[in-house]
Amino acid sequence: METRIKPKSLLSPLAKQLTSRLPGRGLLLAGLAIVLLFIGMAVFAPWISPYDPTKMVDKPFLPPSLKHLMGTNRIGQDVFSRIVWGSRIVLYVVFSATLLSMAIGIPLGLLSGYRGGKIDRVLSMFMDSMYSFPALILAIAIAAVLGPSPMNTAIAIAFVYIPTYFRMIRGQTLSIKNQLFIDAAHALGIPDKRIMLRHILPNLAHTILVVFSLSVADAILTEAGLSFLGLSVTPPTPDWGYDLRVGQPFFLNGQWWLVFFPGLSVMLLAMGFALIGEALSERLSLAQSI
């Protein structure tokens, strides 16, 4: 008997949304445009950035001009070049962190929701406690112990977002596992592992995509927060949050470009992902309400 269910691609909800005329398409397109812009900036940084971001290239504190689009900072580095290269750091940290927390949170959530019982109660209690604690403060503690480096920041951020994935996946698994097709799979004697991976997980694709976009948006702000507090990179590495901190005293003296552009980048990138998540979750709730 043919019991195979065609596994859906994780990206299929995104593709479907893009091609449909349902509400939220505008938000999605705007979000994707912003995100792709920054990803393009990170990938093509060596070609886009006009100067070496770590070298003194001109006089300090030059205001924005055609020569220096976003001016120069207190040690004469080109702010625009630092923004361009900084996108690499933030995307690297945030994507590694999110993938890491997905790799731990999703399997645990599946297992916990599907198996139930003691393991579910213990895991849920741990995850709920972690979830109730301020993510940034926990990340600060971990990052402080590990020491400043992009990889360590990624680990700290990954850790605090595990409960987000766990809780969402567990909840969805609980509701899916009582549906008829899972009973049918049981009746056919399909092993649990296969049911979880081939029958439940593909149905979570849309949820995962929504949580992914929203948690990336959040993680960008957390990364910027950690580096603002001096916990992410060490100078002269270009990093938005760190540049913001260094620029603060000069900003209040009127050298606005030192702070304005790095902060704007943080906000735009986070907003890009938030818009994608927003559009996708609207579509998801629409599908559920029909």
Partner 1 sequence: MAKKGLGYYIVVRALMIIPTILILYTIVFILLRILPGNPILAVVGTRNIPPEQLKHLEHLAGLDKPLIIQYFDYLWNVLHGNFGVTLASPMGVPVINYIATRFPATLELTIWGFTFSVIIGLVTGMIAALKRGSKIDTGMRIYSIVAYTLFIPWFGMILQYVFGVILGVLPTGGRIDPRISLQTITGLYVLDSILTGNIPALISSIKHLILPGLTLGIVLSGAYTRLVRNNMVDVLSMDFIRSYKARGIPRYKITWYALKNAFIPVITLMGLQFAILLGGAILTETTFSWPGMGTFIVDRIEYRDYNSIQGAIIFFAFFVAVISLIVDVIYALLDPRIKY
Q: Which residues bind partner 1 (CB under 8 A)?
A: 125-126, 128-130, 132-138, 140-142, 144-147, 159, 217, 221, 224-225, 228-231, 241, 244-245, 248, 251-252, 254, 256, 259-260, 262-264, 266-267, 270-271, 274-275, 278
CA angle centred on 268, ends 267 and 271, rounded to 5°: 85
**Residue 72 forms beta bridges with which residues?**
78
For the bound state, the minimum distance from the C-beta of residue 146 to partner 1, rounded and expressed in Å, comes to: 6
d(CA 39, CA 27): 18
**Residue 78 forms beta bridges with which residues?**
72
Which one, 75 or 136, has the nearer CB to partner 1?
136
Q: Count of CB atoms within 10 A of residue 189's CB?
A: 7
Which one, 178 or 289, has the nearer CB to partner 1?
289
For the bound state, the minimum distance from the C-beta of residue 31 to partner 1, rounded and expressed in Å, comes to: 10
Which one, 111 or 269, has the nearer CB to partner 1?
269
For the bound state, the minimum distance from the C-beta of residue 200 to partner 1, rounded and expressed in Å, comes to: 27
For the bound state, the minimum distance from the C-beta of residue 259 to partner 1, rounded and expressed in Å, comes to: 5
d(CA 231, CA 149): 8
Which one, 72 or 164, has the nearer CB to partner 1?
164
138 closest CA partner among 160, 123, 153, 155: 160
Task: Say if residues 42 and 87 touch (Cβ distance below 8 Å).
Answer: yes
How is residue 34 written in tokens? 């912003």
Q: Write the DSSP symbol of residue 76.
A: S
Task: Say if residues 240 and 88 touch (Cβ distance below 8 Å).
Answer: no
81 closest CA partner among 264, 230, 261: 261
Task: Say if residues 79 and 257 touch (Cβ distance below 8 Å).
Answer: yes
Q: How far apart are the first and last CA of the chain?
A: 33
Task: Say if residues 7 and 198 touch (Cβ distance below 8 Å).
Answer: yes
For the bound state, the minimum distance from the C-beta of residue 141 to partner 1, rounded and expressed in Å, comes to: 5
For the bound state, the minimum distance from the C-beta of residue 63 to partner 1, rounded and expressed in Å, comes to: 15
Which one, 179 or 248, has the nearer CB to partner 1?
248
Which one, 128 or 192, has the nearer CB to partner 1?
128
For the bound state, the minimum distance from the C-beta of residue 118 to partner 1, rounded and expressed in Å, comes to: 15
Which one, 1 or 137, has the nearer CB to partner 1?
137
How is residue 208 written in tokens? 């995962």
